[in-house]
Amino acid sequence: MANELENLCQELVEISKDYVDKKELTLKDLQNALKTAQTVRANRGVLALKDYGTILFEEYMSPEALQKLQKSPDYKKICFKILNLLVITKILSKFEAKLLLRYL
């Protein structure tokens, strides 16, 4: 499981390199974001994770870069990987991830 988690994190870091334009996303940043996501989920609920994700994207991407990502085929891929990551780390259940996917 730890290996799967690490591989998934590394894939997200690699995919993001084409879109991130404010500061580089590192594996450590992603691990810290997961810890924060766990806290957000525990304190404010599932839908608050969507807001946290938006804030996180804005931290690394300009509005132009975010639009570029949203129009690319990588957008869905990144969303699926992020949700999968949240399920693997037990921040979300599979059911909750499916619900959140509707908001993306």
Distance of alpha carbon 60 from the chain centroid: 12
Backbone torsion region of residue 45, taken as left when φ is above 0, otherwise alpha when ψ lies between -120 and 50, otherwise beta: left
Q: Given the structure tokens 């590394």, which residue do they identify?
A: 10
The confidence score (pLDDT) of residue 21 equals: 79
CB 74 within 8 A of CB 19: yes
What's the length of the chain? Answer: 104
The 10 Å Cβ neighbour count of residue 82 is: 22
Would you state the pLDDT for residue 36? 93
**Residue 1 pLDDT level (bands cut at 50, 70, 90):** low
pLDDT level of residue 63 (50, 70, 90 thresholds) = confident
